[in-house]
Amino acid sequence: MKNNVIALIAGLGLSSGAVACPEFLDTEMRKLSSKETINFCESYAGKPMLIVNTASNCGYTSQFSGLESLHQEYKDKGLAVVGFSSDDFFQEENDEADAATVCFEKYDVSFPVMATTSVRGGNANPVFKGLGEAQGYPRWNFNKYVVSGDGEVVAKFGSSVGPDSDELRNLIDQVTVGGE
């Protein structure tokens, strides 16, 4: 019987150690200024994440540089940094191509940034609905949510906590593979 279950699991493309995808990540969204989409369960199930709501014309926009540094430093330890462009605070470009220029050309961001969407309240995208219910909705741009590999929303950091803060980095160290 055990061998039949293992064969069934293998046939489904799952491993016996497969991590279930949390409901709030069970969605697919389009990348900023692109036709390409990301299925969050396929791409990030089992991986720790740093999820950030972003805007191109905010006083905190320079945090893109620090977020890119975190991405480069921690991607080999399994951390996925994902940005979510939002105009909820009226500081995002109206044209996605202009927002993409800020992210990908001005700040050389290589981590994914999702197409402009709402991140708070009743219109929030599914990812931010889950984050908001777990730790509170963003009160401004560049809120940072740390999600463990098992999908637990571990913490939320406000805009003033930069990507280089010891508090954020220590928590990222705790949730990345091996806790290193």
Q: Catalytic residue numbers?
A: 58
Distance in angstroms (rounded) separating the CA atoms of residues 176 and 48: 6
- Name the token pair of 129: 């609905």
DSSP 80: E
Cβ atoms of residues 50 and 82 within 8 Å: yes
Between CA 7 and CA 125 the distance in angstroms is 37
Residue 120 one-letter amino acid:
R
**Distance from the Cα of residue 136 to its chain's centroid:** 15
**Bridge partners of 177?**
none
Instruction: Give the strand pairing for 144-147 and 153-157.
Output: antiparallel
How far does Cα 24 stand from its chain's mean position?
A: 12
d(CA 133, CA 88): 17
Contact 87, 55 (CB under 8 A): yes
